[in-house]
Amino acid sequence: MKIAILPGDGIGTEIVAEAVKVLKVLDLPLEMETALVGGCAFEAHGHPLPESTLKLAMASDAVLFGAVGDWKYDKLDRPLRPEQAILGLRKNMGLFANFRPAICYEQLVNASSLKPELIAGLDILIIRELTGDIYFGQPRGRRIATDGHFPGAEEAFDTMRYSRPEIERIAHVAFQAAQKRSKRVTSVDKNNVLETSQLWKDVMVEIGKQYPDVELDHMLVDNAAMQLVKAPKKFDVLVTGNMFGDILSDEASMLTGSIGMLPSASLNSRGQGLYEPSHGSAPDIAGKGIANPLATILSAAMMLRFSLNQEAAALRIEAAVKKVLEQGLRTADIYSEGTQKVSTLEMGNAVVRAL
Ligand SMILES: NC(=O)C1=CN([C@@H]2O[C@H](COP(=O)(O)OP(=O)(O)OC[C@H]3O[C@@H](n4cnc5c(N)ncnc54)[C@H](O)[C@@H]3O)[C@@H](O)[C@H]2O)C=CC1
Ligand SMILES: CC(C)CC(=O)C(=O)O
Ligand SMILES: [Mg+2]
C-alpha cells in the first residue's frame, strides 16, 4: 500500500509527523514517500505543485496531506500561490467527494464555545462537492467594467458553475452515505437567488427518487449556517457545494470543540483518496509545537478505512484518540480546566502509547 506523504507548510509538517508516527506503529505493509507541496515546494522548485509531487500523488493508493499556505505568499501570482497545490491535486485526481465528519467526543463537550447540551452526542457528516463551483469555474479575472454600477472602474469576477453530472454524482454519494446512517439528507443551497443552486436542488430531488428509503430536505445556506449553531443535532448528512461546504465545515468544526479535531477524506470514483485535516496551515501558531494533530491522525484513520481497506486499523486509531482524551490530555485549542495541556509531539506520542 503506497502512501504519498505531503506535509506542506506551517503546522502541516508538525501534524503530519505525528500521523506518520501513528501509521508506523500499526505494523501494516505501508510504503510511504514524502514530497514537497505548497509554499515550500515553490521555494524549492518554483511551483507549489511540482510535476514530481503530482506524479507521486497520482501513483499512490492514497495521499496524506497536511496543509499549505502562508500570508507571505499572498502577493504571488495566483497560479504560484500555495493554495493552488491543494486545488490542483483535487482537480487532477478527480477528488470530487469530500467527507467532513463532525463528531463531538464526550470528553470535549466543554471545549466547544457552544452549550454542552447542544453538542453532546453530535455526529454529523458534511459532504462537500470538491471539484466544481466558484473555486474552479471559468472565466474569472480582473478587467475594466463596461457596464454595472461603475463602468470604467476596475472589477473582478468569478464564475459559479455546476453541471448536472457533477451534481448527480455527489448526490449519489450523499444518499448512499445516508443509507448507512440515519437515512436523512439535508441539501444546502441558495436556490432563492442562484441558478447553480436551482439546478443543484432540482437534481437532488431527481436523484433522491432513486433512494426512497432516504428522507431528503432542503435548506438555504444562510439558514443552515444559523441552524448549525442553534440545533446542530437536527442534521445528519448535509450535502452542499464547494464554497458553502468550505464555510459550513469550518463552522461545524467548533461543534466538535476545535478545528483541530475535524478530519476529512476527499475521494474520486476509483476509491483513491486524499486525506487532510479540514483546517489550514495556521501560520499564527506554526513552529510553536502547540497545534492539535488529532484531525490529521483521524484523517489517517479515514485513509485506512476508505482507500486501504483496513477497517480494523482505522478503528484502532479512533479508539486510541478516544483513550488519550479520556486520559485528560489536551492540546491548547481543546484545553479546559482540570485537563493536562500537552504539545503536538506529546499528543502524537500519547496516541502511539494508546495503540
Ligand atoms: N487545505 C489547506 O491546505 C488549507 C489551507 N489554508 C491556508 O492556510 C493559511 C491560514 O489560513 P487561516 O484562515 O488562518 O485558517 P487555518 O485553518 O489555518 O487557521 C484558523 C485558526 O484555527 C487555528 N488552527 C487551525 N488548525 C489548528 C490546529 N490543528 N490546532 C490548533 N489550532 C488550529 C489557527 O491557529 C487559526 O487561529 C492560509 O494561507 C490559507 O489559504 C486554509 C484552509 C485549508
Ligand atoms: C484552498 C482552500 C480552498 C482550502 C480550504 O479552505 C478547504 O478545503 O477547506
Ligand atoms: Mg476551508
Residue 151 cell numbers, joined: 463602468
Q: Which pLDDT score is estimated for 64?
A: 98
Whose alpha carbon is nearest atom 5 of ligand 1? 280
Mean pLDDT of 115-143: 96
Q: Does 261 reside within a domain? A: no
Among 213, 234, 254, identify where a domain stops.
254
Say yes or no: 245 and 321 in one domain. Answer: no
Ligand 3 centre from 250 Cα, in Å? Answer: 6
Say yes or no: 247 and 128 in one domain. Answer: yes
Residue 5 scores a pLDDT above 90: yes
Q: Does 259 reside within a domain? A: no
Contacts of residue 325, Cβ cutoff 8 Å, sequence gap at least 6? 105, 107, 108
Distance CA 207, CA 241 (A): 16
Q: Say what the alpha-carbon torsion angle 9, 13, 15, 20 is, to the nearest 10 degrees.
A: 140
- Our answer on whether the CB atom of 333 is closer than 6 Å to any ligand 2 atom is no
Above pLDDT 90, what percent of the chain? 98
User: For 264-290, what is each residue's pLDDT tens digit?
Assistant: 999 999 889 999 999 999 999 999 999
Say yes or no: 232 and 332 in one domain. Answer: no
User: For 156-203, what is each residue's pLDDT tens digit?
Assistant: 999 999 999 999 999 999 999 999 999 999 999 999 999 999 999 999
Backbone angles phi, psi at 176, to 5 degrees: -70, -35
Say yes or no: 93 and 190 in one domain. Answer: no
Say yes or no: 128 and 185 in one domain. Answer: yes
Q: Does 113 reside within a domain? A: no
Q: Which pLDDT score is estimated for 113?
A: 87
**Residue 59 exposed, middle or buried by CB count within 10 Å (0-12, 13-18, 19+):** exposed
Distance CA 89, CA 231 (A): 35
- Our answer on whether the CB atom of 266 is closer than 6 Å to any ligand 2 atom is no
Mean pLDDT of 133-147: 97
Q: Which domain holds residue 80?
A: 1-99+266-355
Question: 287 labelled as ligand-binding?
Answer: yes
Predicted ipTM > 0.85: yes
How many structural domains does the chain have?
A: 2
> What does the mean pLDDT of the chain come to?
97
Say yes or no: 202 and 276 in one domain. Answer: no
Task: Please state the atom number of ligand 1 nearest to the C-alpha of residue 333.
Answer: 31
Q: Which pLDDT score is estimated for 111?
A: 86
Q: Does 296 reside within a domain? A: yes
Q: What is the DSSP string of 18-80?
A: HHHHHHHTT----EEEE---THHHHHHHSSSS-HHHHHHHHTSSEEEEEE---GGGTTS-GGG
Ligand 1 centre from 188 Cα, in Å? Answer: 24
Mean pLDDT of 134-150: 96
135, 78 Cβ separation under 8 angstroms: no
* CA nearest neighbour of 4 among 101, 69, 125, 92: 92
Say yes or no: 136 and 70 in one domain. Answer: no
Out of 65, 71, 74, 83, mutate this one to test ligand 2's pocket (max ligand atoms within 8 Å of CB): namely 83
Distance CA 341, CA 229 (A): 27
332 pLDDT tier (thresholds 50, 70, 90): very high
Say yes or no: 139 and 231 in one domain. Answer: yes
Say yes or no: 29 and 66 in one domain. Answer: yes
**Residue 27 exposed, middle or buried by CB count within 10 Å (0-12, 13-18, 19+):** exposed
Ligand 3 centre from 247 Cα, in Å? Answer: 6
Q: Which pLDDT score is estimated for 6?
A: 98
Q: Which pLDDT score is estimated for 271?
A: 83
- Our answer on whether the CB atom of 246 is closer than 6 Å to any ligand 2 atom is yes
Say yes or no: 241 and 308 in one domain. Answer: no
Residue 290 cell numbers, joined: 502547540
Distance CA 256, CA 119 (A): 8
Q: For position 303, which CATH number holds?
A: 3.40.718.10
Q: Which pLDDT score is estimated for 112?
A: 86
Mean pLDDT of 305-321: 97
Contacts of residue 183, Cβ cutoff 8 Å, sequence gap at least 6? 213, 214, 215
Among 254, 279, 313, identify where a domain stops.
254
Q: Does 118 reside within a domain? A: no
DSSP-derived 3-state class of residue 193: coil
313, 304 Cβ separation under 8 angstroms: yes
Whose alpha carbon is nearest atom 38 of ligand 1? 69
Distance CA 344, CA 291 (A): 5
Q: Which residues are catalytic?
A: 135, 190, 222, 246, 250
Peptide bond preceding 139 in cis form (omega within 30 of 0): yes
Distance CA 297, CA 13 (A): 13
Q: Does 111 reside within a domain? A: no
Ligand 2 centre from 245 Cα, in Å? Answer: 10
Say yes or no: 250 and 274 in one domain. Answer: no
**Residues near ligand 1 with C-beta < 6 Å?**
11, 15, 67-70, 83, 86, 259-260, 276, 279-285, 291-292, 295, 333
